[in-house]
Amino acid sequence: MKDNEIYLGDSLELIKQIKDNSIDLIYTDVPYLYLLGGPGCSELSKRIQKNNKELVESDIVSGFDYKILDEFVRVKRSEYTQPQGDRCG
């Protein structure tokens, strides 16, 4: 994979292509409302409920496949190292 590129695909499959200890920061936004079924009868709630049904049928009940956490640990650098060179350059 190339640095500073955006990839579209299954994140669990794409992360397997990243080198070990090569990532400084991992930011994720877990779908918290899936467990609650959504906030009510809004269009957002209907979409969440539809997605939740698909996730249950796909065996990803909570909307989050915890296998990806092992990959996070693999690709995350164990300690931060200061980039080399002039940052203003």
What would the pLDDT profile of 34-86 be if each residue is shown by its tens digit? 455 545 677 777 777 787 777 777 766 565 677 888 999 999 987 765 666 65
pTM over 0.85: no
pLDDT band for 19, please (50, 70, 90 cuts).
very high
| DSSP string for 7-58 | --S-HHHHGGGSPTT-BS-------GGGGGT-SSSSHHHHHHHHHHHHHHHT
Helix (H) or strand (E) holding 75: helix 67-75
How confident is the model at residue 18, as a pLDDT?
Answer: 94
Is the pLDDT confidence value at 2 over 60? yes
Residue 21 has pLDDT above 90, yes or no: yes
